């Protein structure tokens, strides 16, 4: 079989067909491969195909619109404590600290009226003993605060510096010294929303500075 160069040749025709078939297959394979890459990408970034599939392989989005930002700013902005933005279930159990320098770490405490019971944990972060630098946490209405604090000091250590059987005392914890911790739990039924309450330490002489506003929202 001679090859004239430009004329028809069966071999050349078969060769051309094979070449076209190979190119077509190659093109399809490349398309499939590319399409597969795109599909895999979509599967990894969305839950379109299966919400639980690839959950740990998914690519983290660059921009995260997170609730954490809102929560963080709410807890840092004390003015929000007075509003309905306060997280009610968090307010039913609160912690306050007292130290060796006649200080509470809070000037104001806010609880939600939705709490059935309120638990206040008092932590004495100092080192001085209870008979020298004892602290407790006592709650009264603001108008009862001064007389109860003075009578409490007179009631003495044996009564934890609280007037005995006095219904002006809405809640009172034990007296603790440095490094100790105590808690008092009381029913919210003794409180009114918007009422004017004061918490304080009734250890003699402490109430003048160790006091703060207690609000029910």
Of the ranges 11-19, 82-90, 158-166, 193-201, which one interacts with Cu ion (CB under 5 A)? 193-201
Provide the minimum distance between the beta carbon of 124 and Cu ion in the complex, in angstroms, as a whole number.
9
CA distance 16 to 19: 5
Per CB under 5 A, the list member of 201, 207, 211, 214 interacting with Cu ion is: 201
For residue 134, the minimal CB distance to Cu ion (Å) is 6
The CA-based angle 205-93-106, given to 5 degrees, is 40
If one asks whether residue 211 binds Cu ion (CB under 5 A), the answer comes out as no
State the burial class of residue 134 (Cβ atoms within 10 Å of its Cβ: 0-12, 13-18, 19+): buried
Q: Which is nearer to Cu ion, 115 or 145 (CB)?
A: 145
- The answer to whether residues 128 and 135 touch, using CB atoms and an 8 Å cutoff, is no
Q: Which single residue brings its beta carbon nearest to Cu ion?
A: 201
Among residues 112 and 136, whose Cβ is nearest to Cu ion?
A: 136
- The pairing of beta strand 117-124 with beta strand 181-187: antiparallel
Site string for Cu ion, 120-159 (x = CB under 5 A): ---------------x------------------------
> Interface residues for Cu ion in 98-117 (CB under 5 A)?
none
- Can you name the residues that pair with 138 across neighbouring β-strands? 172, 200
Q: CB count, 10 Å around CB of 181?
A: 13
For position 206 contacting Cu ion by CB under 5 A, the verdict is: yes
Among 161, 200, 203, 214, interactor with Cu ion by CB under 5 A = 203
CA pair distance 121, 137, nearest whole angstrom: 9
Is 168 strand, coil or helix? coil
Separation of alpha carbons 161 and 172, rounded Å = 10
Please, are residues 11 and 1 in contact by the beta-carbon 8 Å criterion? yes
Site string for Cu ion, 7-46 (x = CB under 5 A): ----------------------------------------
Could you tell me how many residues of this chain bind Cu ion (CB under 5 A)?
5
Q: Which stretch binds Cu ion (CB under 5 A): 18-26, 54-62, 141-149, 208-216?
A: 208-216
Where on the chain is the footprint of Cu ion (CB under 5 A)?
Answer: 135, 201, 203, 206, 210
């Amino acid at each position: 079989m001679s090859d004239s160069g430009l004329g028809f040749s069966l071999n050349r025709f078969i060769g051309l067909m094979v070449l076209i078939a190979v190119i077509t297959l190659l093109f399809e394979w490349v398309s499939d491969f590319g399409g597969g890459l795109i599909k895999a990408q979509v599967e990894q970034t969305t839950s379109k195909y299966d919400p639980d599939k690839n959950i740990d392989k998914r690519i983290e989005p660059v921009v995260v619109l997170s609730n954490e930002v809102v929560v963080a700013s709410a807890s840092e902005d004390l003015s929000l404590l007075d509003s309905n933005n306060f997280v009610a279930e968090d307010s039913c159990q609160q912690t306050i600290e007292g130290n060796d320098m006649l200080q509470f770490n809070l000037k104001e405490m806010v609880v939600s009226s939705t709490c059935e019971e309120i638990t206040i944990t008092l932590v004495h972060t100092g080192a001085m003993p209870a008979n020298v630098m004892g602290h407790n946490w006592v709650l009264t209405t603001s108008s009862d605060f001064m007389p109860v604090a003075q009578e409490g000091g007179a009631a003495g250590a044996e009564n934890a510096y609280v007037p005995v059987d006095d219904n002006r005392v809405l809640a009172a914890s034990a007296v603790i010294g440095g490094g100790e911790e105590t808690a008092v739990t009381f029913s919210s039924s003794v409180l009114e929303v918007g009422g004017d309450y004061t918490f304080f330490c009734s250890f003699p002489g402490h109430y003048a500075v160790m006091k703060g506003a207690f609000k029910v929202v």
